[in-house]
Amino acid sequence: MPAVGKDIPNDSSSGHVSGRSVFLNDVPPTRNELLVDFFGSRVAHGRILSIDCSVASNVPGVVALLTAQDIPGRNRFGSIMQDEHLLADSIVNYMGDPIVLIVAESREAIEAARIAIQVDIEELPPILSIDDAITAGSFIGEPQLIHCGNATSALAQSQHRIDGSLSTGGQEHFYFESQTAIAEPGENGRITIHSSTQHPTETQQVAAEILGVPFNHVVVICKRMGGAFGGKETQAAAPAAMAALAAVNTGRTCRISLSKDSDMQYTGKRHPFQSRWSVGFDSQGLITALALDLFADAGCACDVSPAILERALLHADNAYYLPNFRVTGRLCRTNHPSNTAFRGFGGPQGVVNIENIIEEIAIYLEKGALDIRQINCYGVEDRNTTPYGQRCENNTLPLLFSQLRLSSDYDARQEQLAKFNTESPTKVRGLSMTAVKFGISFTTKTLNQANAIVNIYTDGSVLVSSGGTEMGQGINTRLRQIVADELGVNFSDVLIAPTSTEKNNNTSATAASSGTDLNGAAAINACRTLRKRLADFAAPLLADTKNGQTLSPDQLRFENGFVFVPQQPHQKIAFHDLVLQAYKARISLGERGFYATPGINFDRETGKGMPFFYYTCGVAATEVEVDRFTGELKVRRADLLIDAGQCINPGIDRGQLSGGFMQGLGWVTTEELKYSSRGELLSHSPTTYKIPNIGDLPEVFNLGFFENHDECVSLLHSRALGEPPLLLAISVWAAAKHALSFVSKDAARRLSLPATGETLLLAMEHSRSKSATALR
Ligand code: MTE
Ligand code: HPA
Ligand code: MOS
C-alpha cells in the first residue's frame, strides 16, 4: 500500500493469456437461443426495388426474416445526425448495407437463407473516393475552420514557400473480438442486451429507439471487450439493436457475432484524409505562415465524423507555434461503410501534415529536421498559445525534444546513417524525431462527465461500478487502485462490477483517452463522501472520552485497512470492523459520485476556447532501413519518451505506450485498405491486410517515461495515455521519408501514407526513371 503508482498486473492478464477470460461469444448458448446475421447489399449504392423472402422463409431452421418494415420504433439513428438506418428501407449506401435480418437456429440455416433471399436493386453511381466526392460536391455538414493571425498575407510575405498535398489511408480496427451482442427478452417489453460496446448508454438508446420503447426498458451490460480501439464507440450499437429486434420479434434470446471478414467488410474504419497545404518560412526554417485544407472520407453517414474532423483541426499545429495559420476541414460523403472513431480520433491525420511539412522544409533548406522542429516548438514562457487560443501550460515539449535528442544519440546516428547511405548500394536509412501534443477531453463539452457507485459490504470488501468499459486498456485495474487508496484498503479488497446502464445511467463512451480520468474522479468523489460519513461515525469511537478528548472527523486517516488519528496510531479500528458497526448503526455504506471536468469550453462558431483539460505530450525518434530494390522497410530502432505525469500503473502504461506505437506503426507502414472498382473491400482478412506482428517490432525499442513531478491538474497528477502513443508512430513514416530523401528529393516528396513496400518502391522507381530520362 498504497496501490496507486504500483506495477499491479492488469486484472485480466492471466485470464487473457490462459484463455480463461470469458468474452461474449464464449458464453454458452442458452436453451432456445437463436443466431442473427444479415443479408446485405451487393452494390455500393442503389435503390431497393423489391425484397422477396418467400423461398428463404421455408429454409429449415429459419425462424424470422425481418426487414425495415418490421421495426416497431424508428429506423434512424446516429449520435450527431440521425442519418443511419438499421435495415435499408429504400436506398443502400454501401456494399453490405443490411437489408434483411436473418434469425435462425443454426449458422447453416443462416447461410442457406442468405442464398435464397431475393433482393432487386437498381444500381446508382457510387462515390468511392475523396476526389470523386469533391467533384460531385458530396459533403456532410458544414466546413470547419480554425485560424489565427493572417495566413494569406503572411504567406505572400514569406521568405520561402512550399505547396504540397498529402493523402493518408484508413485503418481497420482489427480488434480480436468482432462486434457481438446477446439480447434476452424480458417481461412487458423489457430487454437486456449484453454487448461488446465502449458505449453502453448509446447502445441502450439506439436499441430503445429502434424498438420504440422508453430507455428504461433496455439494460445494456458490458463486462469486457476483446479490443475496441474506437470501433465500438458508436458502431457496437447497430448489432446490439439487431439482436434486440430479433429477440423482441421471436421472444427468444438472440445472439449476433460478426465473422472477422464481415466485420472488416461492413464496419467503419479510420477516416482516410487528403490535404493541400502551403507553408511560408524563413531561411532558418522558422514557420511564418501555414494554410492547410483537410478533406476526410466520412463514408456514407455522419457517425462522429464532425468531432473527428474537429480534432484533426485542433491537432494540426501539433507541437509547433504558428503565428499565422488557417486550417479548414470538410467531410466527404462516399459509398463506403460510415467511418468512425479510431485511436487518435482525427488527431493523427491532423498531426501528420505538419510533421510532413517540417520534413519538406528540411529537404528544401537542406537542414536538419530536428533543428527545425526545435525552433518551431511551443515555448514555455511565450510562443505557447495555440491557434484556438488555449495556452500550453507547463509545457514540457522543449525538454522532451532535447532530452531524447541526447538519450537516443540522435546526432551521431544521423552522421552514421548519412555515411551508410553513401556506401550501401542496396539499403537506405532514415532517422526522424516527431512529437505529439494530444488534447485530453472530449471536444464535445457535454461528454466530459461520469458517475460511479462505490458499495462497501459489511465484511469491508468493496464493489465499484462506473460507466467506464474495459477493452484491454486497464481501466478496471486502475479504478481498483484508486478506490483502494481512497478508502485505505487493500487492492485485493476492491472489485469492479460489469458495466451496466442499470447501475450507471447517462454515461459517455469510454473514449478520448479519458476513461480513467473521468470515471476515476467520479469514484474518488463517491469515496470521499463515504469516508466523511464513516469518519463522523468513527471519531467518537476513537476518542479517549474518559479523559474528555474529542476528535474532529477530518483528523482521521484511512490507511492500511485501519482508521486512526496520526497522533495516536495505536488507537485504531479496522476498516471492516468500522463498516460493520456503521451498518448496525444504520449508516449508509454506498454512494454514487459524479464528476464533470471543470474549466473547459470551446466555441465552434469562432473556433476559439479551451477545449482540453490538459495535454499529453511525447516525442519519438525512429530509424528505419529501406531496401532500394524491394521497398521493404525495417524499423532498426525506436526511442519513445512520453510525459505521462505520475503513472497510476506504470506497467499498464508501458503496455499502452508500446501497443499504441505499434498500432500506429501499422497505420503508417503496412496496413492498406484495397477496394474493387465497385467498392468491395478486397483486403478483408489478415492474409491481405497486414497488421504488425512480433517480427515488426523495432530491433531496439526503448520506452521512456519523462520524470514529471509537476502538479498537473489531472487525476492524481497522471496523464491519460490511451491514444497519444499512436501518434508517435508518425516518426516511423517521417524516417521513411527521410530515407527516401537520400535517394532523391523527388522520391521523398512522393511518399504518401501508408509507406508500404510498394509505395516506397514506386516512389524510388519513379525518381530513378525520371533521372534516367534526364540523363538521356
Ligand atoms: N488498449 C487496448 N488494449 N484496447 C483498446 O481497445 N483502445 C484505445 C486505448 N487503448 C484500446 C486501448 C482507445 S481508442 C482509447 S480512447 C482508450 O484506450 C480508451 O480507454 P481509456 O480512456 O480508459 O484510456
Ligand atoms: N474523442 C473520442 N470520442 C469522441 C470525441 C472525442 O473527442 N468526441 C465525441 N466522441
Ligand atoms: Mo478512442 S478513438 O477515443 O475510442
Residue to substitute in 202, 447, 514, 723 for testing ligand 3 pocket (most ligand atoms within 8 angstroms of CB): 723
Q: What is the pLDDT of residue 770?
A: 67
Mean pLDDT of 263-280: 98
Cα–ligand 1 centroid distance for 745 (angstroms): 38
Of 742, 628, 732, residue with least CA distance to 366:
742
Instruction: Spell out the residues 6+ positions from residue 718 whose beta carbon is closer than 8 angstroms to its own.
Output: 516, 644, 645, 646, 647, 648, 712
pLDDT tens by residue, 277-288: 999 999 999 999
Q: pLDDT tier at 776 (50, 70, 90 boundaries)? A: very low
Cα–ligand 3 centroid distance for 418 (angstroms): 39
**Distance (Å, whole) CA 373 – CA 389:** 21
CB-CB contact of 42 with 100 (8 Å): no
Ramachandran angles phi, psi of 549, nearest 5°: -75, 140
- Helix H or strand E encompassing 618: strand 614-627
Q: What is the pLDDT of residue 396?
A: 97
pLDDT at 547 over 90: no
Residue to substitute in 234, 447, 510, 615 for testing ligand 2 pocket (most ligand atoms within 8 angstroms of CB): 447
Q: Is the CB of 342 under 6 A from ligand 3?
A: yes
Half-sphere exposure of residue 653: CA atoms within 13 angstroms, side-chain side = 26
Cα–ligand 3 centroid distance for 513 (angstroms): 7
Q: What is the pLDDT of residue 52?
A: 98
Q: Whose CA is nearest to atom 18 of ligand 1?
A: 722
Q: What is the pLDDT of residue 772?
A: 59
Q: What is the pLDDT of residue 771?
A: 63
Q: Whose CA is nearest to atom 9 of ligand 1?
A: 722
Quick one: which atom of ligand 3 is closest to the CA of 231? 4
Quick one: which atom of ligand 1 is closest to the CA of 198? 19
Residues with CB under 6 A from ligand 1: 227-230, 343, 471-473, 475, 510-516, 656, 659, 720, 722-723
Q: pLDDT tier at 698 (50, 70, 90 boundaries)? A: very high
Mean pLDDT of the residues in the chain = 97
CA quadruple 370, 376, 382, 385: dihedral sign: negative
**Distance (Å, whole) CA 108 – CA 106:** 5
Residue showing cell 501550460: 393
What is the number of the ligand closest to the CA of 611? 2
Instruction: Return the SS3 of 481.
Output: helix
Q: Is the CB of 443 under 6 A from ligand 2?
A: yes
Cα–ligand 1 centroid distance for 642 (angstroms): 17
What is the number of the ligand closest to the CA of 439? 2
Q: Is the CB of 345 under 6 A from ligand 3?
A: yes
Distance of CA 196 to the CA centre of its chain: 15
Half-sphere exposure of residue 522: CA atoms within 13 angstroms, side-chain side = 27
Q: Is the CB of 228 under 6 A from ligand 2?
A: no
Of 180, 243, 187, 228, residue with least CA distance to 27:
180
Of 229, 290, 261, 324, residue with least CA distance to 666:
229
pLDDT tens by residue, 750-760: 999 999 999 99
Q: Whose CA is nearest to atom 6 of ligand 2?
A: 442
pLDDT tens by residue, 567-586: 888 889 999 999 999 999 99
Quick one: which atom of ligand 1 is closest to the CA of 516? 23
Q: Whose CA is nearest to atom 5 of ligand 2?
A: 442
pLDDT at 649 over 90: yes
What is the number of the ligand closest to the CA of 311? 2
pLDDT tens by residue, 587-603: 999 999 999 999 999 99
Q: Is the CB of 298 under 6 A from ligand 2?
A: no
- Map 635-670 to HEC letters: EEEEEEEEECECCCCHHHHHHHHHHHHHHHHHHHCC
Mean pLDDT of 550-567: 94
Q: Which of 233, 605, 723, 758 is catalytic?
A: 723
pLDDT tens by residue, 760-772: 999 999 877 766 5
Q: What is the pLDDT of residue 344?
A: 98
Q: DSSP labels for 692-755?
A: --GGGS-SEEEEEE----S--SSGGGB---SSHHHHHTHHHHHHHHHHHHHH-HHHHHH--BS-
Active-site residue, 707 included: no
Q: What is the pLDDT of residue 707?
A: 85
**Distance (Å, whole) CA 520 – CA 507:** 13
Q: Whose CA is nearest to atom 7 of ligand 1?
A: 229
Quick one: which atom of ligand 1 is closest to the CA of 474? 23
Residue showing cell 439487431: 242
pLDDT tens by residue, 33-79: 999 999 999 999 999 999 999 999 999 999 999 999 999 999 999 99
Q: What is the pLDDT of residue 569?
A: 83
Is residue 477 classed exposed, middle or buried when 0-12, 13-18 and 19+ CB atoms within 10 A define those classes? buried
Mean pLDDT of 403-429: 98
Instruction: Spell out the residues 6+ positions from residue 474 whose beta carbon is closer than 8 angstroms to its own.
Output: 10, 649, 652, 655, 656
Instruction: Kindly give the pairing relationship between strand 34-40 and strand 98-104.
Output: antiparallel
Cα–ligand 3 centroid distance for 346 (angstroms): 10
